[in-house]
Amino acid sequence: MNRKTLLFFALLWAVSASAQYPVNWIDYDLINPGNDLTRSLAYNKTTDHVLVASRLNGTRVQILDAANGDSLGTLDTAIIAGGTYPVNMVAVANDGTIYVGNLTAPQYTPGSMLKIYRYNDENASPELVFEDALDGGRYGDALAAIGSGADKWIYVGGMDNPKMAVLRDRQGATLDTEALVSLPVPGNARHGISPTAPGGPVWINAAGPAFPPTLIAADGTLIASVPDTLISPGGSSGVVHTKLGAFNLLTVVNAYSATIRSVRYLSDELGTVTFDYFGSDSDSSALFYKGAYSTNINATGGVVYDNRRNAFIALVGVNSIASLSLEQLLKTSTPRDSLLTISIDGDNDFFPTDLIGETDSHRCYTTWSEGKFFIGITGPTLIDPNENNFLYVAFDLDPQGEAGSTQPPRTDGGVSTLPFRADVVYMVEPYPESDYMIGSIFKWNGSAWQESEFDGNFASQGALAFAAEGVDKIAELCAVRNAPGLGEEIGALSFVAYVADRTIDGDLVCTFPIENHEWNGSFLNYSYHIEELGENLFPTDPAVVQTIKSEYETGIETLKDIIAASYELQQNYPNPFNPETTIRYTLPHSCRVQLKIYDVSGRLVKTLVNEPQPAGSHEIVFDGRHIGSGILMYRLTIDDRHESIKKMILLK
């Protein structure tokens, strides 16, 4: 371990030794202290919602707002039936695909089968994609999903079951059975499964002295178990692995004592895993059922990571559902100039809270410090043996002004038009191996681009750049906030990042925002916008880093103003409708939006939107196939202050 890494852990220990997990919000509406009817939850990062599988007041999957715990409606569970419990577990893959599983316990319901239902999104109808008795064991006490597109992996475990089922979703009509993995101890995957990568090692755990949180290889081989001195195995129920910077964090729920506990772990070059203490127990009394402890003999629980707020959301048995902040233990909001001063080394720079764009092969991260603005792109990028792929980051430093040019300094990858009038463009040259990179900074002087070169080792030149190879390939650019770089006074800014192949027929390797792909590289018309590089902000929050669409008139450098002068909720079309109709509305500026459907009695039928949205025109399709004919009302609420209501008719 090098000196910098030792300093990193020493600083982290100094802060975390006495820190707690402050409670952001706590919810008891889905809790029954007399029975563990609520057994599973998942975080959907594509919608910023929490999904909770519950049998309280009927079989359902409740949708909660991750920001405040408010109820937003339910998933459609009309076709779900069968098993010991028809709904027991819920999981969400990286791309937002939802899986709901039953519990099949043959000792109670002979002949029952494991059923898994798939939802393409929260508004979709479920599809039965798996129905099988497997080896006749108990399945459905634990469920996890990871991956995206045609490479999604689903893991299922059960009480006393010596095996864990591994399934694959290749986007077909049914899931494939990849393997039935033998576990180190029967029942080892009853209470929690957290895969570290699609098809990679998996964390598992269950309650009881024989079940410490355990890391197993894809074939079930034991890799490591957490020592009893760090996490007592008797109460482990619910587990989540989170990669935060240079180390991995493992967090479990203790449903017996209504606490959560975390450890950090490291793996050396030989694969040896070592553990260390991290933080302390959460505020236990806040997680009890309305302040009073309630015993949970089954020790059911769950925990997920909310990357928009650097928080854990924990289901603690029959006690509570709560959002718990990590900021006191590990500050990942921006700017980060205190505990973790950002560096360029491909290791400590980015956290899940910095991920602003994702494709199947690339991810884009951004964050900032007091003196620098950071962009990182992972995937096949600047580690380029042929040295063809160039990284470009273009900035508009006065989004409301007229200075700058929409013409990039180079047209690599076919990019002929930028989505704004750029003031500064950084270009990083490729290199065949890990190293600091060289490149150029282009600045618009009012009539042409002026170029200056930089060496990625020297921040005084206005830029730092680094590319690393390995499992997590990364290309990084640090635009320095000094005179040679971005300038010292920066308010609002917009930016776009892309990697372009500089050959005669070269294409774009990737572009962020990813919506630019639809234009085939001829011109870019989407950009990221940040109104202020302020304090304690999370780039993953769309209210902080917004995706803005700009419209051009056939190559003319005139940017259309797409921001409406006032809020407008349009009449749905068609109306009457059966079963689908489109609702359109316009926002004059970025704001928090709620769009909800009600019946004539005032009962909430469905929440269509509950999230921050950028300025401009929006539309959403409402599907009424699962409700009866009648008059419905749809209400648009802006920033919890302005409301507009219209009537529509569902006629079947």
Domain shared by 414 and 307, yes or no:
no
Using the predicted structure, report yes or no on whether residue 588 has a pLDDT greater than 80: no
The enclosing domain of 167 has a CATH number of 2.120.10.30
Please tell me the predicted confidence (pLDDT) of residue 12.
40
Rounded Cα distance, 438 and 464, in Å: 8
332 within a domain of the structure (yes/no) = no
Considering its fold, how many domains does the chain have in total?
3
Domain boundary among 524, 559, 594: 559
Residues 256 and 359 in one domain: no
Q: Which of 4-8, 39-43, 167-171, 503-507 has the lowest mean pLDDT?
A: 4-8
Domain check: are 536 and 583 in the same one?
A: no
> Residue 333 domain-assigned?
no
Residue 333, token pair as written in the block:
């909001």
Question: Are 448 and 591 in the same domain?
Answer: no
pLDDT, position 587? 83
Which is higher by pLDDT, 528 or 589? Answer: 528
- Which of 559, 585, 615 is at the close of a domain? 559
Of 559, 588, 616, the last residue of a domain is: 559
Question: What is the distance between the alpha carbons of residues 258 and 598, in angstroms, rounded to a whole number?
Answer: 37
In a 3-state reduction of DSSP, which class is residue 424? strand
Neighbours of 532 (CB within 10 A): 11
Q: What is the pLDDT of residues 453-512, one digit of tens each?
A: 999 999 999 999 999 886 668 899 999 999 999 998 888 999 999 999 988 778 888 999
- Considering the domain architecture, whether residues 577 and 547 belong to the same structural domain is answered as no
Q: Does residue 334 form part of some domain?
A: no
- Span 545-578, pLDDT tens digits: 988 887 543 332 332 333 334 578 889 999 999 9
Which domain CATH number covers 603?
2.60.40.2550
Sorting pLDDT into bands at 50, 70 and 90, what band is 330?
Answer: confident
Q: CA 125 → CA 512, 586, 624, distances in Å?
A: 31, 28, 11
94 and 128 together in one domain:
yes
| pLDDT, the chain, mean | 86
Q: Is residue 646 part of a domain?
A: yes
Compute the distance between CA of residue 322 and CA of residue 64 in angstroms, rounded to an integer: 11
pLDDT score recorded for residue 551: 56
pLDDT at 233: 66
| Residues spanned by the domain of 506 | 352-559
On whether residue 341 sits in a domain, the answer given is no
Do residues 529 and 576 share a domain? no
> What pLDDT, in 10s, does the model give residues 532-544?
898 889 999 888 9
Residue 330 lies in a domain: no
And the tokens for 70?
């408010």
Contact 511, 520 (CB under 8 A): no
Q: What is the pLDDT of residue 601?
A: 67
Judge if 479 and 510 occupy the same domain: yes
The token pair at 96 is 């937002």
Kindly report, residue by residue over 155-174, the tens digit of the pLDDT: 999 999 999 999 999 999 99
Most confident of 12-26, 112-126, 547-561: 112-126
- Per-residue DSSP letter, 179: E
How far is 86 from 216, CA to CA, in rounded Å? 29
Give the C-alpha distances (Å, rounded to integers) separating 643 from 8, 17, 524, 635. 49, 47, 35, 7
Residue 338 within a domain: no
Clarify whether residues 180 and 319 are in a common domain. Answer: yes
pLDDT mean over 187-201: 93
Structure token pair of residue 586: 């316009």
Res. 7 pLDDT band, cuts 50 70 90: very low
pLDDT at 321: 94
pLDDT in tens, 277-301: 887 666 667 788 888 888 877 888 8
- Dihedrals phi, psi of 287, to nearest 5 degrees: -95, -5
- Cβ-in-10-Å burial (0-12, 13-18, 19+) of 385 comes to exposed
Whether residues 623 and 549 share a domain: the answer is no
Residue 645's SS3 state is: strand
Residue 388, domain member (yes or no): yes
The whole-number average pLDDT for the span 374-382 is: 92
Question: Around Cβ 148, how many Cβ atoms within 10 Å?
Answer: 16
Considering the chain, what percentage of its residues have pLDDT values greater than 70? 90
pLDDT at 583 over 90: yes
Q: Do 393 and 423 fall into the same domain?
A: yes
> Are residue 146 and residue 109 in the same domain, yes or no?
yes
Close Cβ partners of 358 (under 8 Å, ≥ 6 residues apart): 94, 364, 514
Query: DSSP secondary-structure letter at 433?
Result: S
Higher pLDDT, residue 572 or 639: 572
Q: What DSSP line would sit under 487-546, residue for residue?
A: -S---SEEEEEEEEE-STT--EEEEESGGGGGGTTS---EEEEES---SSB-TTSTTTEE
